Structure 1
């Protein structure tokens, strides 16, 4: 579950859409507000209100405009107006997609409000990423919010703090590392260091909170940035204009000044998927959610600085999906369950005094309940699941002898990240027929 949502990196090509003159203002005397967020697949999902409608948005440093997905009834529900049609390109090899550029929308994030917000409503029924997350996702916001505040991201408490720059006071932090950010088309970059084949290589990386992987690197033989001997080809996520594929591997170290992470997951996307996003020639890759979540951050666009303070997740090992299965929530299915609230009562049989009574269930009552349906949407070639005989389109009924309706999508996917040799038993439905498969998780990077 820690990859597919590179789906979101998708919108990184909204580079040439210009600046908005609108501004967020915090409507309280403190000049600051805290917002609780959900952390799903290493991604920050925040509540956002647009024209009076409450929605869920991805907070993404990798985009420079606010986007809303048009699987909603955009014009009626949100009353979006003052529109013009544009076409956008992004990750993937498909055609440009249609969008509506809309002005003068009212957008609220906690106590922060912008009464003249530009939105880009994407017209593509396939750009609905909620099934891959197993949670609602209606759009993406990035630069428009970050430019107006000092933003603290506390991954430990899952709180986002927005503060007016003039009201923000930096506290002394001896354990922190602060770096200067450089901007290219409103997107933040920092210089870091990777260690590949015992060689330390300085790299310029996009800070990308909208990606769920750990690192992306762009291969460059002249710099020594290339694949190790151990890797596998995989689906990396959905781009704005198509699917993104590449290779997954690991690097020895990744360093942000004095903070060093070891045996870090890395993805090398296919060059054909990067044509419309790698316009910044100095860029060597991206730092995404699986690295960022290991720190609590202070992001200050106006002073071009970012502060890292490692948290309790810093030392967690980097895992990956060892099954080869990618799931999504594919509608609902009817599940037959016992209704324990139903029972007939009567005298205990044989009791003459009628002083002792008990409950006698004369018939078992069942009810049909709608539960999420999970289907396989990607299956890695030569993975344990594919070798066992599973196929794209299979619906999961149970895993390890427990019905899938007991689990969220994230809980099921997490089972595929366990240690190698873990036994997985799956019952699926294919063409209306239940079938059982057994396989063992494999870690190709294990020494």
Structure 2
């Protein structure tokens, strides 16, 4: 899970993002990875991958050590605080940078560079992620996110026209301190239609987070778990589910929820009226239009709306851990047939088996939930995942492997792993502990 809420020093607004005068909108395709939106953005001529994160106020780079070159301008040192257990971290502040998203440009963008190599989202996401950004794009455009088609459109606010659509609903959106907040209702324990104020956080791959207080408490059925990583370290809490979540007239039943521990948010001096966060696993069930300039948001159900929430039934967390070589067998046909009449009778094909070395991503177990099926089977952190139910996993993306390991309750999993130069086979049955 990914969560980034950064507290940055206040600076005056830089130049805005804009389109050529001849255009009123720009359309881009994005990758949807583990409920997160990944956009290609050029920074001073270098092509980078950014998470679109409405919970972050200004762009942050944190994975640039492997880049051939990246120029950043007018640099000074600052301190950043954020979510997680740990101390504030040092970063570089840079201004007068050029950002481009196709025809969208900003010639005077401020950004921050975190030099700590331990802050790296790429292993958890399963693809190279160089940074996060959000507020400036939402501020300067009406942002139309079509999760089902994986297309995002940016419109000039002054020319954007609202369409009549009976299946969509327009709701008020409060913009406060460069963040967007939405009112909703939750159903849990003995609370029915309990009103909550939620941070809209496209940079969280989770569904909904709730903060404990005098009225909101964790349901009895829960388990302790690693929830994600923030700028100041890891975030832990309790995983559970709630009876329902209402967004306007849309009702989501049996929603997955998490309650982060209070220490993780100790760096946030005041949560105000905020009760939690709304993340990508809920947002992707809609096509969403954000209009910060008018304080509005439009929700329209899409093909993901009725899909069940994805639970970690195995108890395993995975991440990429560099690359490794594997030997693959290939068949090399030998033999030539000649026939002047261009017709063939019986032909014998001779094959010679050969081995080819291939460089593939290495996927390892990064965490195991205590008491989970995988933990009881004897799996360990650091085990290299080789195959799931007979399928060699090197041709699959990280999220696809996670889906294999959490397919459905009651399914038997045969997991082949590498440990200390030995291949070991473990078997366990997937279980939902919240039932």
- The TM-score normalised by the length of structure 2 is 0.95
C-alpha contact 2:384 2:417 (8 A) present in aligned 1: yes
Report the equivalent of 2:153.
161
Q: Aligned match of 1:244 in 235, 253, 256?
A: 235
Q: How far off is 1:270 after superposition? A: 0.7
Report the equivalent of 1:45.
38
C-alpha contact 1:347 1:356 (8 A) present in aligned 2: no
Matches of 1:158 and 1:42, distance apart in 2: 11
Give CA-to-partner distance per residue, 1:29-64, whole Å, 9 cap, x none.
231010101110000111101111111100011011
User: Are residues 1:118 and 2:110 paired?
Assistant: yes
C-alpha contact 2:57 2:135 (8 A) present in aligned 1: yes
C-alpha contact 2:14 2:110 (8 A) present in aligned 1: no
Report the equivalent of 1:290.
281
Match of 1:145, SS? Answer: helix
Q: What are the ranges of 5 or more consecutive residues in structure 2 without an aligned counterpart?
A: 339-343
User: Are residues 1:68 and 2:64 paired?
Assistant: no
Aligned length: 429
Give CA-to-partner distance per residue, 1:337-396, whole Å, 9 cap, x none.
1222x2332789xxxxx98653323x4211111111110111111111010000000001
Report the equivalent of 2:341.
none
C-alpha contact 2:142 2:291 (8 A) present in aligned 1: yes
User: Are residues 1:233 and 2:224 paired?
Assistant: yes
C-alpha contact 1:346 1:360 (8 A) present in aligned 2: no
Matches of 2:379 and 2:288, distance apart in 1: 41
Match of 2:326, SS? Answer: strand
User: Are residues 1:337 and 2:353 paired?
Assistant: no
C-alpha contact 2:388 2:404 (8 A) present in aligned 1: no
User: Are residues 1:88 and 2:77 paired?
Assistant: no
Change (3 A) 1:439 1:254: same
Matches of 1:181 and 1:336, distance apart in 2: 54
Report the equivalent of 2:167.
175
Matches of 2:74 and 2:412, distance apart in 1: 56
Match of 1:64, SS? Answer: coil
Give CA-to-partner distance per residue, 1:202-233, whole Å, 9 cap, x none.
0111000000110000011x22x111110010
The worse-fitting range, judged by mean Cα deviation, of 375-384 and 401-410 is 401-410
Matches of 2:83 and 2:92, distance apart in 1: 19
Report the equivalent of 2:251.
260
User: Are residues 1:368 and 2:357 paired?
Assistant: yes
C-alpha contact 1:13 1:276 (8 A) present in aligned 2: no
Report the equivalent of 2:383.
394
The worse-fitting range, judged by mean Cα deviation, of 270-279 and 51-60 is 270-279
- The TM-score normalised by the length of structure 1 is 0.92
Change (3 A) 1:82 1:16: closer
- RMSD of aligned alpha carbons: 1.8
Give CA-to-partner distance per residue, 1:306-364, whole Å, 9 cap, x none.
11111121111122110010111111121111222x2332789xxxxx98653323x42
Change (3 A) 1:39 1:278: farther
Report the equivalent of 1:79.
71
